[in-house]
Chains A and B, each alone.
Chain A
Amino acid sequence: MSKPVGWRAALLSLVFFAMLLGVWQIAATPRGGSGPALDPEYAKLIGAAAAVGQKSPFPTPIEVGAKLAEHLADPFYERGTNDRGIGIQLAYSIARVTIGYLLAALVAIPLGFLIGMSPLVYGALNPYIQVLKPISPLAWMPLALYTIKDSALSSIFVIFICSIWPMLINTAFGVASVRREWLNVARTLEVGRMTTAIRVILPAAAPTIMTGMRISIGIAWLVIVAAEMLVGGTGIGYFVWNEWNNLSIGNILTAILLIGVIGMALDQGLGWLARLVAYQE
């Protein structure tokens, strides 16, 4: 990509952003027109929108911005078990995702190697993988709660089970499609099986494995929010649920924005790792 395009793309991005905010502000601004005159005692007991005969409105971008600033100004407060700053909640979620994801990688990559190197094992395990792969992670949740009997472990298990498949399949695929010639060269040079795996197959399959890992981290981050909404207690998913409970759309939008930013950072991090192992044939 040449430089002038990048600069113009950034400008266009900003224009889109401004347009979005503008339309949102106009759409969310409450219409004028007051409802029937109300008993002042009654009006005091209900929300401002309900007092003019309307439903409570969607927050404007300015209100959401104020909420965001408020959360970012003090992200690590702790006012009791059920009221912690958004930074602490995000940290809980990131920790859960990291643990579940690393466990999945520890299982998926060696297993993927095995499957990729042996067509027999590949054939035998493939039906199971195909059935288990499309199961929604949240469908695992009741089962996990019932068998593991611990909600914190259950959410880590759900991360584990949903991030394992892309890594497993990509590793197997990457290992299986290493070029024959390279393996033959290794064999001609009488390289041992272990050495072949580490010195020839691993570097050759690394880009495909990294792609699998990148897909997995995306899924893991998607799933954690839903899982935490279900189990509650801590994490950004719990934060969203708690604010939904209070019908506070402003806080929910703040959380959504931060979830997006963190997800992007995780993806970019793995993208950077992927570039380190990439090679040109």
Chain B
Amino acid sequence: MARAFDNPFNPNVTLGNGCSCGQHANEAEHARAAADIDLADTEALTARVVETAVVKAVFGGDVRRRQFLRLLGAGTALAAIAEFFPLSLAKEAAAAAPGPLEKKDLKVGFIPITCATPIIMAHPMGFYAKQGLNVEVVKTAGWAVIRDKALNKEYDAAHMLSPMPLAITVGAGSNPIPWTVPAIENINGQAITLSIRHKDKRDPKSWKGFKFAVPFDYSMHNYLLRYYLAEHGIDPDRDVQIRAVPPPEMVANLRADNIDGFLAPDPVNQRAVFDGVGFIHILSKEIWNGHPCCAFAASRDFVAGMPNTYHALMRAIVEATAFASKNENRKQIAEAIAPQNYLNQPVTVVEQVLTGTYADGLGNVKRDPKRIDFDPFPWDSMAIWMLTQMKRWGQIKGDVNYQQIAEQVFLATDAARFMRDAGLAPPKAAAGHKFKIMGRPFDPAAPDAYVDSFPIRRS
């Protein structure tokens, strides 16, 4: 056993050559006897190796280290060193080194929408295989089912709407189970589509009595639609009806005049245009440019229990996201993900969504290369915004520890590291990121005041 795994804060341990205490025939035997940490736990081992390296560098010789430790005690020494050397950061950096995969055959669930592009394309375009993973991407019928299958561990990781892991963690709509968002998949890429018979009603104030569909109660779609309506003075609970309809059923319902419109993920919007059923009223980026939508989500158990597999999976997703974020690759991606095995849509529909050159359903060709974009960074502030909206519409009650939940669920540090590896530039100041939605500023440091500032709310 390598000596790097010995506790460097134990004054009786030698970091030089030979058995450290002189009582054992060789170092391996000594290590087995003296192991004060679980050697099966790779993460603890990596951390230990880093600590050892740092302590060695600081003290040079064993004699000085022993004197220092005897004088202060291990705990104080650890704190003293951490003071001028960020141990936790060094440990994390070392954890990125590839280790043996705990599990090679993985199942990842997805919903057939373009938000899932990085998760899906990583399969036909070989991003998973490159990391030595054999991933099966499984098409799933709806958000509730994908949640239940993920909770049941039928899926190792899954495509979820970004508010879902927050809702699962706080126990809204399910039992509270710690869930994480290692990466956001896409930003923007949604739209409000209205039935073609409303093509003259472009002012939201004239929408009283409309029936809208959103994909799920805990979705950015629900929060964005409610936000948009409320900003135009329409109470989303009293003046209109909003119901959860699975994306595949939305166009069929619009066609049958069961609903007047929806705020939906693509390709549903473009498909409604393609079939002559609806028109695109606005893109979601016109409500909040750069809003997160779907997330790559995994249980905290998976992240902590299989660190190497999780890291490999993260690298695959982040590299796929990096590839998708380049506009020149979008046509190629559209062809890869349109077939029956994945989205099961006409190629032209997927291509219009991804390239941003699209028919709006009213006879115009529009060009907006940022219609959908891919950016893996899970901002804590985005999680806080979602929590404020859950609070605003009465989905969660009582006091909410916004910052703590956001940090627990949205794994920004991990994402930043993998983004650097994939050649993307992660944002510098992750905390305190502010943004404006329809002109109204949001300060993540004051979430309660933000909730209270809305005239239309249920809290």
Contacts and interface: CB of A to CB of B under 8 A. Distances in A.
A82 B138 contact: yes
Given A47-B276, A50-B361, A82-B139, 15 more contacts: A39-B363, A42-B359, A44-B348, A45-B348, A46-B274, A46-B359, A49-B276, A50-B276, A79-B339, A79-B341, A149-B153, A150-B154, A238-B141, A247-B251, A247-B252
B132 interface: no
B363 A49 contact: no
Interface in B392-421: none
Contacts of A44: 348
Nearest to A54: B276
A46 B365 contact: no
A242 B364 contact: no
A247 B271 contact: yes
A247 B141 contact: no
A38 B360 CA distance: 13
Nearest to A52: B276
Interface string A218-260: 0000000000011111000010011111110000000000000
Size class of the B contact interface (CB-based, 8 Å): 35 or more
A41 interface: yes
B57 to A, nearest CB: 49
Contacts of A151: 145, 148-149, 152, 154
Interface of A: 36, 38-39, 41-42, 44-47, 49-50, 53-56, 79-83, 142, 145-146, 149-151, 229-233, 238, 241-247
A244 B364 contact: no
Contact of B274 (A47, A80, A82, A149): A47
A146 B344 CA distance: 29
Given A45-B352, A50-B274, A229 B139 contact: no
B276 A56 contact: yes
Contacts of A56: 274-277
Given A49-B275, A145-B148, A246-B345, A230 B141 contact: yes
A40 B209 CA distance: 37
A55 B345 contact: no
B17 interface: no
Contact of B138 (A81, A230, A242, A244): A81
A81 B271 CA distance: 24
B255 interface: yes
B192 interface: no
Most chain B beta carbons < 10 A, residue from A38, A39, A83, A247: A247
Contact of B341 (A47, A54, A82, A149): A82
Contacts of B273: 46, 50
A154 to B, nearest CB: 9
A242 B344 contact: yes
A149 B152 contact: yes
Given A56-B275, A146-B148, A41 B249 contact: no
B248 interface: yes
A258 B56 CA distance: 73
A242 B140 contact: no
A128 B223 CA distance: 44
Secondary structure of the B contact surface, majority rule: mixed
Nearest to B196: A55
B249 A244 contact: yes
Interface of B: 112, 136-142, 144-145, 148-149, 151-154, 196, 247-249, 251-252, 255, 271, 273-277, 339-342, 344-346, 348, 352, 357-359, 361, 363-365
A30 B364 CA distance: 24
Contacts of B252: 244, 247
B134 to A, nearest CB: 12
Contact of A42 (B140, B340, B364): B364
A80 B341 contact: yes
B110 to A, nearest CB: 9
A42 B152 contact: no
B276 A230 contact: no
A241 B340 CA distance: 12
Contact of B276 (A45, A53, A81): A53
30 contacts: A42-B363, A44-B348, A45-B358, A45-B359, A46-B273, A46-B274, A47-B275, A50-B275, A50-B276, A56-B276, A79-B339, A80-B341, A81-B136, A82-B138, A82-B340, A82-B342, A146-B148, A149-B152, A151-B148, A151-B152, A229-B141, A231-B141, A241-B248, A242-B340, A245-B112, A245-B344, A246-B340, A246-B345, A247-B251, A247-B275
B159 to A, nearest CB: 13
A231 B136 CA distance: 17
A233 B276 CA distance: 30
Contacts of B275: 47, 49-50, 55-56, 247
Contacts of B364: 42
A150 B152 contact: yes
Contacts of B112: 245
A232 B139 contact: yes
